Amino acid sequence: MKASRIAAVGALAGSAVLLLSGPAFAHVSVAAEGTAAKGGYATVNFKVPNERDDATTTKLEVNFPTDHPLASAQPEAVPGWDIKVTKAKLDKPLELHGEQIDEAVSKITWTADGAGIKAGFFQKFPVSIGQLPENTDELVFKAIQTYSNKEVVRWIEVPKDGEDEPENPAPVLALSAASADHHGSSGASTASDESENADDADDAKAASKETAAEPAATSDTTARVLGVVGIVVGAAGVAYGVLAGRRRTNA
């Protein structure tokens, strides 16, 4: 009986580790460098992990929100990637720095001109965006990730409050409260605003060089290791139980 209990506990431990490790895998996400205040400008990074062991990520398409179009979206050059910016006509023109804007960026596509993002690594794709809307708390950017084996993963499911995270959640950028000195508050750009944008671009470029091929979050690797350990422990428990049972029978 004791041996059987040990085997059962070992098997349950292995299963529990696998269940806990499942949700740890990363997905395409977006985050601001600093804050993304309503009515202002921000530099955001689209973070793309490679989740396949037998393929590299060779393409990323990010669709910009149509319900809250952004008049300005300027991607930073990323070594090893070709960038294409697609614009579309707006049904309702936007006003930016006193001018009427009748088109906005609808999609940005990054295509690797080499190996792309290898297994166990991630890549950040910086974009300067603005003027951020003041009538919403978040912006949804639906993304499509393509692998070298032609597999396509669509990160397009919009998370809903009070519900579990969907299997393929779309990147969501949370917006903070508008600041008193945000860009566009007076309807015109100032010299200090332009200087701040230049500083943000320099910081983004430095960050991009440092993170161009950083290893993926250690939580992913840890989860996989724990999963393997759980299987080994469970199998060992079962084997021990069987051997103990045979010894008692022979006795």
Which tens digits make up the pLDDT trace of 75-106? 999 999 999 999 999 888 877 777 788 899 99
Average pLDDT in the chain: 76
Taking alpha carbons only, the member of 45, 33, 124 closest to residue 81 is 124
Q: Which residues pair with 129 in a beta bridge?
A: 42, 73
Region 144-159 average pLDDT: 96
Region 227-247 average pLDDT: 53
Region 42-63 average pLDDT: 97
pLDDT at 166: 92
pLDDT at 100: 83
Cα–Cα distances (Å) from 88 to 142, 143, 184, in that order, read: 16, 17, 22
pLDDT at 14: 44
pLDDT at 152 exceeding the cut of 50: yes
Q: Is 20 or 215 the better-scoring residue by pLDDT?
A: 215
Residue 128 pLDDT level (bands cut at 50, 70, 90): very high
The secondary element (H helix, E strand) that includes residue 201 is helix 191-211
What is the SS3 assignment for 90-108? EEEEEEECCEEEEEEEEEE
pLDDT at 189: 38
pLDDT at 6 exceeding the cut of 70: no
Instruction: Say what angle helices 218-250 and 2-21 make with each other, to 10 degrees.
Output: 160
pLDDT at 231 exceeding the cut of 60: no
DSSP E strand stretches across the chain: 29-32, 42-49, 57-63, 72-75, 81-96, 99-112, 121-130, 138-140, 142-147, 152-155, 172-174, 214-215
Taking alpha carbons only, the member of 111, 121, 179 closest to residue 145 is 111
Q: What's the N-to-C CA distance of the chain in angstroms? A: 15
> In this structure, what token pair is assigned to residue 131?
């003027």
Residue 189 CB-density burial (10 A; 0-12 exposed, 13-18 middle, 19+ buried): middle
For Cα atoms 77, 202, 82, give the angle at the middle one, nearest 5 degrees: 0
**Residues with Cβ < 8 Å from 221, sequence gap 6 or more?**
120
Residue 119 CB-density burial (10 A; 0-12 exposed, 13-18 middle, 19+ buried): middle
pLDDT at 202 exceeding the cut of 50: yes
pLDDT at 217: 47
Region 188-195 average pLDDT: 41
Residue 66 CB-density burial (10 A; 0-12 exposed, 13-18 middle, 19+ buried): exposed
Region 13-33 average pLDDT: 61
